[in-house]
Amino acid sequence: MNLKQLALMLDLSQTTVSRALNGYPEVNEETRRRVVDAAKRHGYRPNPSARRLATGKAGMIGYVLPTGASVDIDPHFVEFLSGLGDYARSHELDLVLSPAEADDEETTYRRVAANKQVDAVYVSAPRPKDRRIALLHQLGLPFLVHGRSEGLDFPYPHLDIDNEGAFHEAGRLLVQLGHRRIALINGDDTQTFAIFRERGLRRALAVSGVELMPPMIRSAGMTEENGYRATRSLLELDVAPTAILCSSLIMGLGVVRALCDLGLSVPKDISLVAHDDVFPWLRPENFPVPLSTTRSSIRAAGARIAERLAARISGLEDDPRGEVWPVDLVVRGSVAGAPL
Amino acid sequence: MNLKQLALMLDLSQTTVSRALNGYPEVNEETRRRVVDAAKRHGYRPNPSARRLATGKAGMIGYVLPTGASVDIDPHFVEFLSGLGDYARSHELDLVLSPAEADDEETTYRRVAANKQVDAVYVSAPRPKDRRIALLHQLGLPFLVHGRSEGLDFPYPHLDIDNEGAFHEAGRLLVQLGHRRIALINGDDTQTFAIFRERGLRRALAVSGVELMPPMIRSAGMTEENGYRATRSLLELDVAPTAILCSSLIMGLGVVRALCDLGLSVPKDISLVAHDDVFPWLRPENFPVPLSTTRSSIRAAGARIAERLAARISGLEDDPRGEVWPVDLVVRGSVAGAPL
DNA sequence: TGGCATTTTCAAAGCGCTTTGGCTTGGTTT
DNA sequence: AAACCAAGCCAAAGCGCTTTGAAAATGCCA
């Protein structure tokens, strides 16, 4: 059932039927009712390919997915997707994943933009002076960044959580508990989220006159194994930390395992705080010792990003506004006063 | 730069240019070279919307994503996606995720099929007599199932791992080690993979004359917490198990935590085997006691599925062939002879 | 050289929608 | 009564590609 047939059946022109369905004003309300009614009855749905060709609008949002034999997609992605999908569903928005060579995403972004495959894209895991953002800005393809870049000379729309504030708060708590040697097991420090977290902790330590030194910082992909290794190496230092701030629950698993291996107990010997993105399948309160966390639902972020993207697509939002969410500090049993 | 302009520039008809570019035989090789060359030089890329409208082919593969406030996307999905994306990239195939209400995927499948948004879809987490498979079969939309259904009266293309064989092997090993009370902590047992795994273990036990009784079976979503709870409840039984077979590493984390809580040691008190989908961020050899596993890379499956979907789209494959991969049993320190 | 089969090219008709510009109709103004 | 206007509708022209059916060019043979 296509427009032509429907128009024929109603003894109207395609123009009128199209307008009636799309809510244009120049059509009699009575006529519109007839059309809408007939459309529903015959289950008419405009062919998206045709509509897209005519309007240039795709009704889809895009994401360029870095791939490669040695590239692992972040497990957070799936949680983010839950939120995004949940909102997108209610608006009949589909999501297009365009796989790209991890070290050349630009080509794919250009292709996606040139093809007008999607109405907007979102960008995740930004780095300082992120090339993708500059590119999208230049290409004029609507976009939204999950996270923030730095050092760009133009404003761009984004949604981020207050990573610096979160780790500042967590650091401050530890400092207040008397800790001075606080280590940071961070994620990939070429990404801004990691930079902000380090900054937050540094600021908290500075208050008590302590400087966050390089040996106290580890940075690596968020795997259990990396958490383990970082912890082992930190505790081999001459002046080992008495507290650890860790950028993810997954790494947190490794941290706990390492401490256990070394016969150290949480929180008596070591205090531990981790960032929690709120996975349904791994919860900080279920760690051997309930884990204190900085918590922010990545799923909620996904939903909000979908909402804003939809707004941008329909023209309701068009300023490059940035939105930064506060992060909860949730204190549980894994922190205590510094040992003497 | 579109076809028309390119044709004009080359002083050829659109027909010829189109044919030259699409490899039709009825065009002079010399002409073709000219065309291909000019196309490359001017960076001409056919507009996919137009092509789609004309041919009905989309160049995309689809996936209907169940969503909802209380629906969690399986964390395995991301690993699967890595594999799929990796292959898809090399073939310029995009992936369309169409979010659906979790309890009414049918509507979305119908929409996707009617709109011809994608050339093929893949279906995951099938159940016995899966409605989606029957629907796709009936709609005539090419598809591939990751996993298997049961009780369908027609063949359909799928890729599965030998879940029954895997858990049979694992069960047999435990039986050989003298275990008789073996518990199963399974995933969602409305899904076929879980049914097959149970069947495998049952068969292994039967050999030694033991029947797998309901109290020895737990089934739940694959979270750390569910692994913990299942284990606690199993060990409160009058005749507690001496070995546990567990359907995922994530649940395995909970199992280990529960055993630790109870002061039981692996493998002295309890032997443990888990299924490993090969996550980069959580590896069985890094468990407190290295975990024995049945191992099968879900990522490899993703790549293979993309490959077969591509083949089906291009007509190279069109039989409803099923493909079942064997599963490795990897023995590590978590199994030992049954305690007396 | 004429006739015929092949090769190579083209004009035009879709694909199904949106949108421009114009045509009626009936009512309001001067 | 002529002149104007708004409301409601329509025909037709795109959007950029593929594909059909036919025409022109070429080669081959008798």
Q: What is the pLDDT of residues A204-253, one digit of tens each?
A: 999 999 999 999 999 999 999 999 999 999 999 999 999 999 999 999 99
Class of domain A163-297: alpha beta
**pLDDT at B340 (0 to 100):** 83
Chain B residues close to A65, C-beta within 8 Å: 81, 85
Q: Do B95 and A96 touch (CB under 8 A)?
A: yes
Alpha carbon distance B288, B295 (integer Å):
18
CATH 3.40.50.2300 domain residues, chain B: 60-161+300-325, 163-296
**pLDDT at B227 (0 to 100):** 98
Contacting A residues, span 266-325, partner chain B, CB-CB under 8 Å: 279-283, 286, 288
Residue of A110, A255, A281 to mutate for B, most B C-beta atoms under 10 A = A281
Work out the percent of chain B whose per-residue pLDDT is above 70: 100
Mean pLDDT calculated for residue range B213-222:
97
HEC profile of chain B: CCHHHHHHHHCCCHHHHHHHHCCCCCCCHHHHHHHHHHHHHCCCCCCHHHHHHHHCCCCEEEEEEEECCCCCCCCHHHHHHHHHHHHHHHCCCEEEEEEEECCCHHHHHHHHHHHCCCCEEEEECCCCCCHHHHHHHHHCCCEEEECCCCCCCCCCCEEEECHHHHHHHHHHHHHHCCCCCEEEEECCCCCHHHHHHHHHHHHHHHHCCCCCCHHHEEECCCCHHHHHHHHHHHHCCCCCCCEEEECCHHHHHHHHHHHHHCCCCCCCCCEEEEEECCECCECHHHCCCCCEEEECCHHHHHHHHHHHHHHHHCCCCCCCCEEEECCEEECCCCCCCCCC
Helix axes A224-235, A249-261, angle to 10 degrees: 40
Q: How confident is the model at residue A312 (pLDDT cuts 50, 70, 90)?
A: very high
Q: Which CATH number fits domain B163-296: 3.40.50.720, 3.30.2010.10, 3.40.50.2300, 3.40.50.300?
A: 3.40.50.2300
Architecture, CATH, for domain B1-40:
Orthogonal Bundle (1.10)
Is A223 part of the contact surface with chain B (CB cutoff 8 Å)? Answer: yes
Q: Are B160 and B137 in contact (CB under 8 A)?
A: no
Nearest to A103 by CA among A67, A150, A63: A67
Q: How confident is the model at residue B109 (pLDDT cuts 50, 70, 90)?
A: very high
Nearest to A292 by CA among A244, A339, A332, A248: A332
Residue A31's DSSP bridge partners are none
Mean pLDDT calculated for residue range B271-290:
97
pLDDT one-digit tens code per residue, A274-287: 999 999 999 999 99
Instruction: Tokens 């008590």: give the residue.
Output: A208
Is A78 part of the contact surface with chain B (CB cutoff 8 Å)? Answer: yes
Is residue B279 scored above 90 in pLDDT? yes
Q: Do A53 and B53 touch (CB under 8 A)?
A: yes
* Angle, vertex CA A222, rays to CA A220 and CA A225, nearest 5: 85
Q: How confident is the model at residue B73 (pLDDT cuts 50, 70, 90)?
A: very high
Longest CA–CA separation in chain B, Å: 89
Q: How confident is the model at residue A103 (pLDDT cuts 50, 70, 90)?
A: very high
Strands A120-124, A94-101: pairing kind: unpaired
Q: Do B282 and A97 touch (CB under 8 A)?
A: no
Q: Do A65 and B81 touch (CB under 8 A)?
A: yes
**pLDDT at A218 (0 to 100):** 98
User: Phi-psi category of B11—alpha, beta or left, where left has phi over 0 and alpha has psi -120 to 50?
Assistant: left
Q: What is the least distance, in Å, from the CA of A238 to any CA of chain B?
A: 26
Q: Are A309 and A122 in contact (CB under 8 A)?
A: yes
Tell me which H or E stretch contains A86.
helix A76-90
Q: What is the least distance, in Å, from the CA of B325 to any CA of chain A?
A: 21
Mean pLDDT calculated for residue range B194-210:
97
Lookup: nucleotide whose C1' is closest to A26 CA: D8
Mean pLDDT calculated for residue range A117-139:
97
Mean pLDDT calculated for residue range A160-187:
98
Q: Do A45 and B288 touch (CB under 8 A)?
A: no
Tokens matching residue A125: 């895991």
State the nearest residue by CA to the C1' of D10.
A13
Q: Are A188 and A155 in contact (CB under 8 A)?
A: no
Is residue A340 scored above 90 in pLDDT? no
Helix axes A298-313, A76-90, angle to 10 degrees: 40
CATH 1.10.260 domain residues, chain B: 1-40
Chain A residues close to B74, C-beta within 8 Å: 78
Please report, for residues A74, A144, B222, B278, B299, the alpha-carbon distance to residue B79 in angstroms, rounded to integers and kept in the order given: 9, 25, 15, 8, 5
Please report, for residues A78, B72, B98, the alpha-carbon distance to residue A298 in angstroms, rounded to integers and kept in the order given: 10, 13, 20
Tokens matching residue A31: 């006529």
Is residue B241 scored above 90 in pLDDT? yes
Phi, psi of A137 (to 5 degrees): -55, -45
Q: Is B138 exposed, middle or buried (0-12, 13-18, 19+ CB in 10 A)?
A: exposed
Is residue A165 scored above 90 in pLDDT? yes
Please report, for residues A218, A242, A294, B174, B191, the alpha-carbon distance to residue A271 in angstroms, rounded to integers and kept in the order given: 17, 6, 14, 40, 42
pTM: 0.93
Nearest to A73 among B81, B88, B254 (CB): B81
Residue of A65, A246, A276 to mutate for B, most B C-beta atoms under 10 A = A65
What's CA B46's distance to the chain center, in Å? 33
Class of domain B60-161+300-325: alpha beta
**pLDDT at A51 (0 to 100):** 96
For A274, the 3-state DSSP assignment is strand
**pLDDT at A291 (0 to 100):** 98
Q: How confident is the model at residue A133 (pLDDT cuts 50, 70, 90)?
A: very high
CB contact burial B19-41 (16+ within 10 A = b; e otherwise): bbbeeeeebeeeebebbeebbee
pLDDT one-digit tens code per residue, B136-173: 999 999 999 999 999 999 999 999 999 999 999 999 99
State the nearest residue by CA to the C1' of D13.
A54
- Rounded to whole angstroms, the distance from the CA of residue A49 to the C1' of nucleotide D18 is 15
For A45, the 3-state DSSP assignment is coil
Fold for A3-46, please state it: 434 Repressor (Amino-terminal Domain) (1.10.260)
Nearest to B94 among A67, A97, A228 (CB): A97
Q: How confident is the model at residue B99 (pLDDT cuts 50, 70, 90)?
A: very high
Q: Are A334 and A266 in contact (CB under 8 A)?
A: yes
Residue A243's DSSP bridge partners are A182, A271
**For nucleic chain D, which protein residues have CB less than 7 Å from any of its atoms?**
A 11-16, 26-29, 31, 50, 53-54; B 2-4, 14-15, 18-19, 21-22, 44-47, 50-51, 53-55
Count how many residues are written for chain B: 340
**pLDDT at B335 (0 to 100):** 98
